A and B are shown apart, each in its own frame.
Chain A
Amino acid sequence: MAPQRGSDQLDPGHRPQLDTAKLSQITDLAAKSNFHILRWEIYGQPAIDWIRGTFRVPQGQVGEMVEKVLNGGISYNIEVFPIGIPKPDGALVNIQYGPR
């Protein structure tokens, strides 16, 4: 059997489920936090196949973001783009929820 990727083993009890409750969880995450949603796309109608979102996260809160995402079992894939010259003052965080 091929070994699992490490990130898949980070939280094995919380594999994402494709349902609208998860969608609400993501939007609540942004609403209750200091994360600004820049882009938001939902693919698949009427059933949701996957979701892609981009958040603007202030410097120092990336850890909080990932904790909520990972502990919430929301994401299959996260990407981070530090922004700010010369010193990063924040990050763009892309979240894709759904099959890779």
Chain B
Amino acid sequence: MGPTGRSRIVQIHPTRRCNLRCLHCYSSSGPEERGELSASLLRDALTDAAAAGYTVAGFSGGEPTLYRSLREVLEHARSQGLLTTVTSNGMLLDERRLAILTGAVDLLAISLDGIPASHNRMRADPRAFATMESRLDGVRSSGIPFGFIFTLTQHNLHELPWVTEFALAQGAGLLQIHPLEEAGRAAERLPGGRPDGIETSYAFLLAHELQEQVGERLRIQLDLVSRQQLAERPACVFAEAGEADCGRPFAELVSPLIVEADGQVVPLEYGFTRELALGRLGDARLSDLMESWRRDRLPEFRRLCRHALAAITAVTETPLTNWYEAVREAGLRQAVA
């Protein structure tokens, strides 16, 4: 099963170049970054990912619209039968860049971190909100389905109703609420910003309330799960007992699969422990990396997932958890040990 449900996701970071230097950026992207993956490397990786059973290709960054070959790789992903998503800060979505995306993107996700002042503070740019907002008319006109991504912190839950209203008013189809993870630049710039059990519990309740208010006009997705549900369904997080069925398609063994901007391929999350990395694109094709990882690293990966699940379910004070963070921290502990 896995944490992404029926969708099997390969998430690609073609570059860490970005027009912003956001406080909460887990990939520490910024304007000074120049490296990017070649289009031919990514085309091959997408071909292999589709053959391995992946169904969605998500492009993030950095700011993916700064990647020069974005249209080419999006079209290739589509040609392989993959749905495509692009996550953007929205500031650069002018007519030219929207034309690059139009007809090649199934969902455009735009970051929105609260009321304008909060958004600008998180984005470290006083023009971030106004510029993003000024692009939304063009986004709507393009016909590209779009949504917003809100990063939940310890301090911004009270802005969620405003964010919901804004998303509705702009005609978005999705509002995704993702808890802050103290990784990358967030670890330095936002210590203590990760929402605790009380905030995540309130977030769960508010998300329910808001979903009931808005009905089908806007889908609200909260990236948290109940510890109890995980304990009852360990296969959701690759933590079921026994050995993995090695004959299954690779996408059923690992989803999401992450391609980082330096070509490193890792399970589950950007920055995941290198102990369990598949390897680097360019050193071998993704299909070969998958096969050697399946042979050599899969049992260890499964053990790590079981350790993460055990750590999660040992906590009884709070009911909800961010599983991705738990498994990343378990990986870091393992790397240290």
Contacts and interface: CB of A to CB of B under 8 A. Distances in A.
A81 B226 contact: yes
Interface stretch (B152-160, B165-173, B255-263): B152-160
Nearest to A3: B155
Interface stretch (B58-66, B227-235, B286-294, B303-311): B227-235
A100 B134 CA distance: 43
Interface residues of A, number: 26
B212 A6 contact: no
B203 to A, nearest CB: 8
Interface string B187-199: 0000000011111
B35 to A, nearest CB: 35
B201 A6 contact: no
B202 A78 contact: yes
A9 B162 CA distance: 13
Most chain B beta-carbon neighbours within 10 Å: one of A7, A60, A64, A85 = A7
B156 A85 contact: no
Interface in B181-228: 195-199, 201-202, 204-206, 208-213, 226, 228
B156 A80 contact: no
A7 B209 contact: no
A67 B211 CA distance: 13
B156 A6 contact: yes
B4 interface: no
B319 interface: yes
B24 to A, nearest CB: 14
B53 to A, nearest CB: 23
Contacts of A88: 229
Contacts of A3: 154-155
A63 B155 contact: no
A5 B199 contact: yes
Interface string A33-58: 00000000000000000000000000
A86 interface: yes
Contacts of B228: 81-83
Contacts of A10: 157-158, 202, 206
B158 A80 contact: no
